[in-house]
């Protein structure tokens, strides 16, 4: 599933402005497709942001301190413990239990705390 351009721009601008954003895919392959589409639409991202490819995630860190991280819903949810996010994007149809148990706590301390489905 591909993220709409307006949501992708919102995620990118939040990270560029210093916010912490996570984009989840149904699988890591799906998350990588969303990342590739975002990179295709905004190629300057690869010049401005530091890219980190780790097992189970891709992260971009911007000069203002913001991050844009791509993850899989199928990865171990315990890896989200202690994360603080300003925005979170999940595929429509994501389990309400997963959202309430693992994602809402990540958004709890943010003044924004937005979650959107794509």
Which tens digit of pLDDT belongs to each residue from 85-106? 999 999 999 999 999 999 999 9
Residue 44: which pLDDT band, with cuts at 50, 70 and 90? confident
Q: How high is the pLDDT of residue 2?
A: 83
The domain tally of the chain equals 1
Q: Does residue 49 register a pLDDT over 80? A: yes
DSSP one-letter string for 3-71 = PPHHHHHHHHHHHHTT-EEEEEESSHHHHHHHHHHHHHH-TTHHHHSEEEEETTEEEEE-TTS-EEEEE
Residue 61 has pLDDT above 90, yes or no: yes
Kindly report the CATH number assigned to the domain that includes residue 66: 3.40.50.300
CA-based end-to-end distance of the chain: 8
Domain with 88 in it: 5-117
76 or 69, higher pLDDT: 69
Range of lowest pLDDT (55-64, 76-85, 105-114): 76-85
> For residue 90, which of 22, 15, 9, 42 has the smallest C-alpha distance?
22
**What is the Cα–Cα distance from 41 to 55, expressed in whole angstroms?**
25
At residue 27, does pLDDT exceed 80? yes
């Amino acid at each position: 599933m591909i993220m709409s351009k307006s949501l992708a721009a919102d995620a990118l601008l939040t990270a560029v402005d210093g916010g912490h954003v996570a984009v989840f895919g149904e699988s890591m392959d799906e998350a990588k497709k969303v990342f590739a589409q975002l990179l295709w639409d905004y190629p300057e991202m690869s010049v401005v942001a530091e890219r980190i490819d780790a097992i189970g995630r891709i992260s971009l860190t911007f000069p203002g301190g913001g991050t844009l991280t791509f993850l899989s819903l199928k990865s171990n949810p315990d890896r989200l413990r202690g994360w603080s996010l300003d925005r979170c994007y999940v595929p429509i149809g994501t389990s309400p239990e997963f959202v309430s148990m693992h994602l809402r706590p990540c958004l709890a301390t943010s003044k924004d705390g937005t979650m959107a489905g794509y």
